[in-house]
């Protein structure tokens, strides 16, 4: 996955919990690397973060709402996106403020309203919490292995739009309109929202 490496404990295994859970496969025109989720346990911090249980790495509690060619409504929790330089003990605040020219948004969830969901991309020119445009970038979402891109396509007469808002604790809101699939009829719109839980 381009520019995207998630840090997790060696040999860690994804255990799904209160919000459902995550994994994914491939998108049109993209080959997706396997994510490396970790196990997690319960704590009082989980309740404060909306039901996400902490682990040895930062985790996110995702809510997805997608309409169009694919329809997805549901929630899940999975390993938080992290840059290649990240260490397992990086906090959500550090993920939200780490500046190296872009920041990673990629993650996956195996069961969101009965669908496999994956998304990937970076925030160009990232300089800390705020709102950024993803329109015309390589940001994309896959639903059950079918990919939808924020890149403009003259051939398919598409001009998708997308944006992301990142807060100081790495709570993230991604909204998108008319992400383009393989044909002119294959488009999705919606949002991905998550809260972040610090490592234990």
In a domain, 49, yes or no: yes
The count of residues in the chain is 200
**Tens-of-pLDDT digits for all 200 residues of the chain?**
433 333 333 333 333 333 433 333 333 433 333 333 332 223 333 333 446 788 899 999 999 999 999 999 999 999 999 888 788 889 999 999 887 667 889 999 989 999 999 999 989 888 889 999 999 999 999 999 999 999 988 777 778 999 999 999 999 999 999 999 988 889 999 999 999 999 98
Q: How far apart are CA 111 and CA 41, in angstroms?
A: 19
In a domain, 51, yes or no: yes
**pLDDT value of position 163:** 96
In a domain, 138, yes or no: yes
In a domain, 84, yes or no: yes
In a domain, 37, yes or no: no
Task: Please name the residue that has the structure tokens 């490396």.
Answer: 36
Close Cβ partners of 7 (under 8 Å, ≥ 6 residues apart) = 36, 57, 82, 86, 87, 88, 90
Q: What's the total number of domains in the chain?
A: 1
Q: Supply the range of the domain harboring residue 153.
A: 44-197
Strands 161-166 and 140-143: unpaired
Contact 188, 182 (CB under 8 A): no
User: How many of the other CB atoms lie within 10 Å of CB of 98?
Assistant: 17
User: How many of the other CB atoms lie within 10 Å of CB of 40?
Assistant: 25
**pTM of the shown model:** 0.74
In a domain, 7, yes or no: no
In a domain, 26, yes or no: no
Contact 163, 134 (CB under 8 A): yes
**pLDDT value of position 51:** 63
In a domain, 23, yes or no: no
């Amino acid at each position: 996955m381009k520019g995207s490496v998630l840090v997790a404990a060696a040999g860690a295994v994804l255990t799904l919990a209160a919000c459902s859970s995550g994994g994914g496969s491939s998108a049109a025109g993209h080959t997706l690397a396997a994510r490396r989720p970790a196990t997690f346990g319960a704590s009082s911090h989980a309740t404060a973060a909306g039901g996400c249980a902490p682990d040895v790495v930062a985790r996110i509690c995702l809510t997805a709402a997608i309409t169009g060619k694919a329809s997805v409504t549901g929630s899940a929790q999975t390993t938080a996106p992290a840059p290649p330089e990240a260490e397992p003990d990086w906090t959500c605040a550090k993920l939200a403020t780490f500046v190296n020219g872009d920041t990673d948004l990629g993650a996956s969830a195996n069961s969101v309203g009965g669908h496999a969901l994956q998304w990937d991309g970076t925030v160009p020119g990232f300089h800390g919490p705020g709102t950024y445009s993803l329109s015309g970038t390589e940001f994309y979402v896959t639903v059950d292995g079918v990919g939808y891109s924020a890149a403009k396509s003259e051939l398919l007469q598409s001009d998708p739009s997308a944006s992301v808002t990142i807060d100081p604790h790495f709570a993230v809101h991604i909204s998108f309109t008319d992400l383009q699939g393989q044909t002119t009829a294959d488009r999705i719109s919606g949002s991905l929202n998550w809260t972040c839980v610090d490592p234990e």
